Amino acid sequence: MKIAILSRGPKLYSTRRLVEAAELRGHEVQVIDVLRCYMNINSVNPEIHYKGEVLEGFDAVIPRIGASVTFYGTAVLRQFEMMNVFPLNESVAITRSRDKLRSLQLLSRKGVGLPVTGFAHSPDDVDDLLKTVGGAPVVIKLLEGTQGVGVVLADTHSAATSVIQAFNGLKANILVQEFIKEAGGADIRAFVVGGKVIAAMKRQGKEGEFRSNLHQGGSAHLVKITAAERATAVNAAKIMGLNVCGVDLLRSNHGPVVMEVNSSPGLEGIEGATGKDIAGMIIEFLEKNALKQRRNRGRTKGQG
């Protein structure tokens, strides 16, 4: 196959591993910086140009689109889709997953376990907002935050009120969530490929830290997850429409709850913690599915 990897960082661990795994299996790979692509949108022959050349002949595309380039990155991915190139994750599913609030709304509609969550922009009645999520302690999150930045634990009602007022001043969208104390500063990352959890790790925050993010000094270990956790992760991936994703779960005393579904999950932490060849499994998924799409297309064409 000829595979495109949409990534701005050819030196990043995940990108390098995907290139390596694809080449090992005899595929041709090109790493493409989405911001350097320009496109020709027409109904007869949609094209993508890159550094003066037309990109053509690809069978599959692996999007590794950073949060800051979601808009343009998903537009380039959509252009590949117009050209009938099989996407590891579809552009519409990536866009959906990048919106934390929309994701939680979709998951809750299908009955997936979630932390009790309130959402606000400029609440006039902070007391009532706090009451809706069961009162302090609560976790307050900036909707646009990543890697644990902008995630605050407010132990008391007055601390929560101050933080919410401060975020209001910044005119930011926020989530206010019940604090899952029993998670003990740990979360579970379940890595889903093609409707199956293929690996899982537990991330533990450093001593005295409720956030388990590796960027906040947390550490990752192999973990055996329960049947309920497995089912929750698979279900969340399906609802989001993602073939490949990292589902972040907390172990609450009312069962597994989903915090987030990540459509470009990093490979370094999970391969390191589990010793598994995750990149290889992703390429294997593409081999099965991109070729199936091509066969189906051939059949449709044949039928006229």
Residues that bind ligand ADP (CB under 6 A): 115, 139, 141, 145-148, 151, 177, 179-180, 183, 187, 205, 210-213, 248, 250, 259-260
Partnered with residue 251 across adjacent β-strands are 256
Least CB distance to ligand ADP at residue 212 (A): 4
- Shortest approach of ligand ADP to residue 141 CB, angstroms? 5
Least distance in angstroms from the C-beta of 117 to ligand ADP: 8
Q: State the Cα–Cα distance between residues 76 and 81, nearest whole angstrom.
A: 9
Cβ-based nearer residue to ligand ADP, 86 or 179: 179
The closest alpha carbon to 60, from 293, 302, 297, belongs to: 293
Our CB check for ligand ADP shows the closer of 73 and 205 to be 205
CA distance 86 to 80: 8
CB of 221 to ligand ADP, least distance (A): 14
The whole-angstrom separation of Cα 119 and Cα 115 is: 12
| Residue number, 248 or 271, with CB nearest to ligand ADP | 248
Closest approach of Cβ 279 to ligand ADP, in Å?
23
Q: Minimum Å distance from CB 183 to ligand ADP?
A: 5
Between residues 63 and 148, which has the closer beta carbon with respect to ligand ADP? 148
The residue among 79 and 95 lying less far from ligand ADP, judged by its C-beta, is 95
Which C-beta is closer to ligand ADP: that of 214 or that of 222?
Answer: 214
Question: Strands, E, within the chain: which ranges?
Answer: 2-6, 28-32, 37-40, 47-50, 53-54, 60-63, 86-87, 117-120, 138-142, 151-154, 174-178, 186-193, 196-204, 219-222, 244-252, 255-262
C-beta of 55 vs 120, nearer to ligand ADP = 120
Residue 208 backbone phi and psi in degrees, to 5: 80, 5
- Minimal distance, residue 142 CB to ligand ADP, in Å: 8
Its sign, for the CA torsion 95, 97, 101, 107, is positive
Distance CA 38, CA 82 (A): 14
| Contact criterion met (CB below 8 Å) for 78 and 6 | no
CA-nearest of 289, 299, 303, 281 to 22 is: 281
